[in-house]
Amino acid sequence: MARKGDRFVVIGGGRVGTAVGYLLSRTGREVAAVACRSEESLKRAGEYIPGSYLTTDMVRAAKRGNVLLITTPDDLIADACITLASAGAIKRGSYVVHMSGALGLDVLEAAEEAGAATASVHPLQTFADVKGAVRKIPGSVFAVTARDPRTVEWAEGLVRLLGGEPVRLAEENKVLYHLGAVMASNLLVALEHAAELLYQEIGMEGEKALRALLPLIEGTVGNLRRLGTEKALTGPVARGDIGIVRRHLEKLEEEDREKHLRAYVALTRFALDLAEANLSRSRSQEMEELLERYS
């Protein structure tokens, strides 16, 4: 597990990096340095992690620790690792960790060549700001990926230090894992935006549309928490109301709402998968044939 003598360095003091540094320091672990590209981010990191060495020079920061947490945007992880390894800032026997949900360990290849153990730990959570990240990280599931049992155990210990629940994830499954996370969170926001646009067109201007929808959204999330996806499904597909589904499709086609139509058909097919156990075979087939005509 993560060792008491580890000296942590955060490379990339954004929302997640700053929150992780704060949570580690709260457990009594040493966060030796934080490196950020902007002075504004450094100032914020200093407020959450007082006493840590703050710098815009990632190499200088990395040389102060033996556990490097690279929390930069995904596209910058490999370059950051190469820069650190080329500058001799990665020590043999140290740990280099990234927190991307989609990327494998190949982006840390330079660290492995320098003699470090590498891992990925990704919190299955969404963070709008540092304060929210500090609140949400404890209790969140973390996907843990590493190439040897010893490093896996060390990474799981790191997750537990943060208050998270580690779940082992094979490297080849990372893209599917991340796809699931994007659909559950990011595309959910996009879906609510699509509903918001429809409500705005019927007179609920500005924030009124979202305010009207939020109790419904929150009620649905509550049902998911209590009942799971299959039992939480309500609405025309769950009831087998083909006439209502047909009205929806006709209206979207009539008004030439192509994006809404495609989303509705795709998601209704997933809803039909959930509802089939409670519908007659003929009713399910009739609904599938209806959806096929609008594909």
pTM (two decimals):
0.88
Averaged pLDDT for residues 265-287: 95
How large is the average pLDDT for residues 68-84? 97
Fold of the CATH domain 7-173: Rossmann fold (3.40.50)
Q: Determine the pLDDT at residue 13.
A: 85
Farthest CA pair distance, the chain? 68
What does the pLDDT look like over 142-196, one tens digit per residue?
Answer: 999 999 999 999 999 999 999 999 999 999 999 999 999 999 999 999 999 999 9
Note the CATH number of domain 183-293.
1.10.1040
Residue-wise pLDDT for 12-26, tens only, equals: 988 999 999 999 999
Instruction: Give 192-247 pLDDT, tens digit per residue.
Output: 999 999 999 999 988 899 999 999 999 999 999 999 999 999 999 999 999 999 99
Kindly list the domain boundaries of the chain, sorted by start residue: 7-173, 183-293
